[in-house]
Structure 1
Amino acid sequence: MPHVILEDETLRDGLQPEPTIISTTEKAELFYGLLEAGLKRVQLGSFVHPKYVPQMADADQLVKMLSSEQNAVLLTGLILNRRGLERAQACGLKHLSMSVSASNEHSLRNVKKTASDALNEMTTLIKEAHVAQITVRAGLQCAFGCVYQGKIEEKTILTSLLGLAKAGATELNLADTTGMANPKAVFELVTKVRQELPDHRISLHLHDTRGLGLANMYEGYMAGVRIFDVALGGLGGCPFVKGAAGNIPTEDAVNLFEQMGINTGINLDILCNMVQRLKSLLGRDLPGRMCHVLKTLNGCRK
């Protein structure tokens, strides 16, 4: 049976813009719920300054608390600079996500560096991580366009990805950071990247800003992607992008692939129970659809 891998980013991208601070204990509870549901890849947090992303202030504590689970599940953390790499190493993480923007304007707003400077710094960090026997997934933000800069030239995308690959990244992640992607663009860019870098795994990080998230995910799959980022309930969004919407809901992605006869190994009912828990923690509803479907008991899964 065909299969896909879903990397759940609830604890990082999902929670990072939330004003309600979730305790470390509650985050650990969510993590173990993800494991129970069958997730095999989980991003625990980002090693960034708590002044800018308060929700990530306990990233080191959470990773140390859960690091013993690395034999059962692939645990990752996001870093953006050398200090982040040092913190992640001190916590004992074996896998890291690093990310730079293809958009100069977005890069300046996000990390206060030009895209070129950020790329040069990141390639150096990837090499250092490789020496430390840490595997790296390198992400390219705004790969499908930027609300501040518009369409990014394909040549810029491919040149950036080639640099990240040469530095030692084992997986390349195309991120629709500001929600500009459409199904046609996803299929075309993924196809081109796979042609240019056939020996590298390609993953997708999509947002549902314009309601095209699942359609983009489908086209990514049809173009050959087998690894997708998701978050419970559709949480998330870049805190430095005005109007950014959340990630593809984990439960909606599982339903999409199940309906297509594609195995995820993930229990949808457990996910929906976790979404209800998240709603309680955050004190609000979430945009994911499948929990509403199951709650109405309308038989749509039959």
Structure 2
Amino acid sequence: MYTEEQSSIEIVEVSPRDGLQNERLAIPTAEKLALIARAIDAGAKRIEVTSFVNPKAVPQMADADEVCAGLPERDDVTYIGLVMNMRGAERAIASGRIDQLGAVAVASDGLGVANQGQSSDETIDVCRDIIAKAQDAGLSAQATIAASFGCPFDGEVSEDRVVHMAREIAKAGPAEIALADTIGVANPAHVARLVTRVREAIQPLPVRVHFHNTRGTGLANVWAAVAAGARTVDASIGGLGGCPFAPGAAGNVATEDVLYMLERAGIETGLSLEKTIAANHWLAEVMNKEMPAMVGKAGGFPHPKTERTAA
């Protein structure tokens, strides 16, 4: 049973960054901007547009400044830039187009070193510094705890460790804290426990979730997280996504799949399923491959052509 507060869920569209970053096909800046425009047209109000990282490490994000320069002027849309260090934060702020910085802490030393060259404890310190930097610049910042449900190098991650990290990061005053299943190993029971514990530990700050559908549990995990009180869900048009530094981290949960599940269950998202499916088909042509999203293939229900007007 959902409370009135849970009758709507916010979606953060991450396809322009997390969706594209691990793709081998180099996507022109104009196409990235077209993807962002389609997400906005579908109703997205928060979009992770790029990441400010070393282009040698993530070549797909080498045009971060150009993407920011081409963003449409929208007072009703929050543009998020992912940053891993203070240099990235400075670049994002200097762009003049980013509304919110996305900082990342990592729950394991193995992925922390691979992803950011830092231990898990060091990523907490940097995360808090980035939040403070954003606030000093008059911007907001959100924080993500990567590998919250498991690490490709270290294996199992302690729930207590994630809760401790969330408490420490919350002291810096981010807009929210996200739990990320970076390599798609979470299960609904684990998700329900951890979201509940973190929500209780950091309240009144909201919990956001970020799931990969690597092992087919992504939608079930979204449902468990929403039931446990998560207020925001990351999703990627078409179900593209992956981390260059986390082996096996394939496929974010697809925006159209999440929309279909939530809307059919009576939970509003404010996004158009029809326009999101159209964006999927357009993106498939850009990427020259079929997108993994299931609803992109099957369509919504009832299909407009099969609806009948009552006599």
TM-score by length of 2: 0.93
Question: How far apart are the structure 2 equivalents of 1:8 and 1:46?
Answer: 14
Listed as ranges, the gaps of 5+ residues in structure 2 are: none
Q: Distance in 2 between matches of 1:38 and 1:150?
A: 38
How far 1:295 moved relative to its partner? 9.0
- 1:278 Cα deviation from its structure 2 partner: 0.9
Structure 2 residue 262 is the aligned partner of structure 1 residue 266: no
User: Which residue of structure 2 lines up, in the alignment, with residue 28 of structure 1?
Assistant: 33
Counterpart of 1:241, as a letter, is A
Cα deviation for residue 42 of structure 1 reads 0.6
The answer as to 2:21 corresponding to 1:16 is yes
Contact between 1:293 and 1:300, CA under 8 Å: does it hold in 2? no
The CA deviation at 1:294 is: 2.1
Structure 1: which 4+ aligned runs deviate by more than 6 Å? 295-302
Conserved 8 A contact 1:103-1:152: yes
- Cα distance in structure 2, aligned partners of 1:96 and 1:167: 13
**CA offsets, 1:133-183, max 9 Å, x none?**
211111100111112212212221122111211112120010001112100
- Cα offset, 1:285, TM superposition: 1.1
* Separation in structure 1 between the aligned mates of residue 211 and residue 122 of structure 2, nearest angstrom: 25
CA distance in 2, matches of 1:126, 1:299: 45
Measured on the aligned residues, the alpha-carbon RMSD in Å equals 1.8
Alignment pair present for 1:42 and 2:47:
yes
**Matching residue within 76, 81, 102 for 1:77:** 81
Amino acid at match of 1:89: I
Shift of residue 298, structure 1, vs aligned partner: 7.0
- State the one-letter code of the partner of 1:79: V
Give the match for residue 103 of structure 2: 98
Tell me if 1:87 matches 2:91.
yes
Contact 2:166–2:201, Cα closer than 8 Å, also in 1? no
Q: Which amino acid aligns with 2:94?
A: A
Give deviations 1:13-38, integer Å, cap 9, x for gaps.
00000111111111111111111111
Q: Could you say if the C-alpha distance between residues 301 and 155 of structure 1 is closer, same or farther in structure 2, counting changes exceeding 3 Å?
A: farther
SS of 1:167 mapped into structure 2: coil
Q: Percent identity?
A: 36
Q: How many residues align?
A: 301
CA distance in 2, matches of 1:102, 1:167: 17
User: Aligned pair in 2 of structure 1 residues 301, 31: CA closer, same or farther (>3 Å)?
Assistant: farther
Query: d(CA) in 1 for partners of 2:34 and 2:234?
Result: 20
1:244 corresponds to: 249
> Partner residue of 1:119?
124
Paired residues of 2:260 and 2:300 also in contact (CA < 8 A): no
CA contact (8 A) 1:143 1:174 kept: yes
158-167 or 13-22, which deviates more: 158-167
2:173 corresponds in structure 1 to 168
C-alpha change, 1:218 and 1:295, in structure 2 (3 Å) is closer
- Assess if the C-alpha contact under 8 Å between 1:254 and 1:268 holds in 2: yes
TM-score normalised by length of structure 1: 0.95
Structure 1: 5+ residue runs without aligned partners? none
Contact 1:102 1:140 in 2 (8 A): yes
Read off the aligned partner of 2:92 and give its amino acid letter. Answer: A
Q: Which residue of 2 aligns with 1:233?
A: 238
